[in-house]
């Protein structure tokens, strides 16, 4: 994994990160994951790719400012969660997290990726289209809280060299 941005580095999520990861999830989503969901992703036999972006500033405790969870289902990498702290957005952290997770997914045998995103989520759509995802379908009224439609996007095939370049961009 690269560490291009001066103080933000990416690494695997650990159990010790859960309080900060869950707080980030609550800060970023209207419907956060149920309690213990992240702990489940980190169980010893899990095949999920779980990464955090950690900010290390001199004189301060390390702070988790981003996270991603990708499920590996056969040759498919499904993006289950991706979030960056509001005050740290627009600096490439989200793109680096996703590119790194997809690269690890490729190394684990995934050859394509899929995800759902709210049609109104301009920031996420920009990030996904920038990585090469294409819209392949719509799920009307998919989100329970607002009944908003979900766009279904796929990235097929995963290109490890392109992902590596994006991870470092």
Ligand X SMILES: CC(C)(COP(=O)(O)OP(=O)(O)OC[C@H]1O[C@@H](n2cnc3c(N)ncnc32)[C@H](O)[C@@H]1OP(=O)(O)O)[C@@H](O)C(=O)NCCC(=O)NCCS
Cβ proximity to ligand X, 29 vs 109, nearer residue: 29
87 binds ligand X (CB under 6 A): no
Whether 40 is catalytic is: no
Q: How far apart are CA 98 and CA 81, in angstroms?
A: 10
Q: Is 128 a catalytic residue?
A: yes
Closest CA to 113 of 65, 61, 49: 49
- By beta-carbon proximity to ligand X, the closer residue of 110 and 150 is 150
Residue 7: Cβ-neighbour burial (10 angstroms; 0-12, 13-18, 19+): middle
Compute and round to an integer the Cα radius of gyration of the chain: 15
Does residue number 168 form part of the binding site for ligand X (CB under 6 A)? no
Catalytic residue from among 22, 41, 54, 128: 128
Based on the shown chain and the rule CB under 6 A, indicate whether residue 65 belongs to the binding site for ligand X. Answer: no
If one asks whether residue 124 binds ligand X (CB under 6 A), the answer comes out as yes
Interacting residue with ligand X among 7, 121, 154, 164 (CB under 6 A)? 121
What is the x/- site pattern for ligand X, positions 129-158, by CB under 6 A?
Answer: -x----------------------------
Told to check if 90 binds ligand X by CB under 6 A, we report yes
Among 1, 5, 18, 28, binds ligand X (CB under 6 A): 28
CB 32 within 8 A of CB 22: yes
Single out the residue of 91, 29, 22 nearest to residue 50, CA to CA. Answer: 22
Report the Cα–Cα distance between both ends of the chain, in Å, rounded: 12
Of 40, 53, 47, the C-alpha closest to 12 is 53
Distance CA 1, CA 135 (A): 28
Q: Does residue 104 touch ligand X according to CB under 6 A?
A: no
The least distance separating ligand X from the CB of residue 124, rounded to whole angstroms, comes to: 4
The window from 12-20, 54-62, 84-92, 141-149 that contacts ligand X (CB under 6 A) reads: 84-92
Catalytic residue numbers read 116, 128
């Amino acid at each position: 994994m690269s560490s291009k941005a001066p103080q933000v580095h990416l690494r695997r999520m650990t159990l010790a990160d859960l309080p900060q990861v869950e707080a980030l999830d609550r800060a970023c989503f209207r419907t956060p994951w149920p309690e213990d969901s992240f702990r489940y992703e980190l169980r010893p036999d899990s095949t999920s790719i779980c990464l955090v972006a950690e900010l290390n500033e001199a004189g301060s405790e390390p702070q988790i400012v981003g996270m991603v969870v990708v499920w590996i289902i056969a040759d498919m990498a499904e993006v289950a969660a991706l979030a960056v702290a509001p005050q740290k957005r627009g600096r490439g952290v989200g793109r680096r997290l996703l590119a790194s997770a997809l690269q690890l997914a490729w190394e684990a045998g995934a050859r394509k990726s899929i995800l759902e995103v709210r049609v109104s989520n301009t920031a996420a759509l920009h990030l996904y289209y920038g990585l090469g995802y294409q819209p392949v379908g719509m799920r009307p009224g998919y989100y329970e809280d607002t009944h908003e439609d979900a766009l279904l996007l796929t990235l097929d095939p995963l290109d490890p060299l392109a992902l590596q370049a994006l991870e470092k961009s």
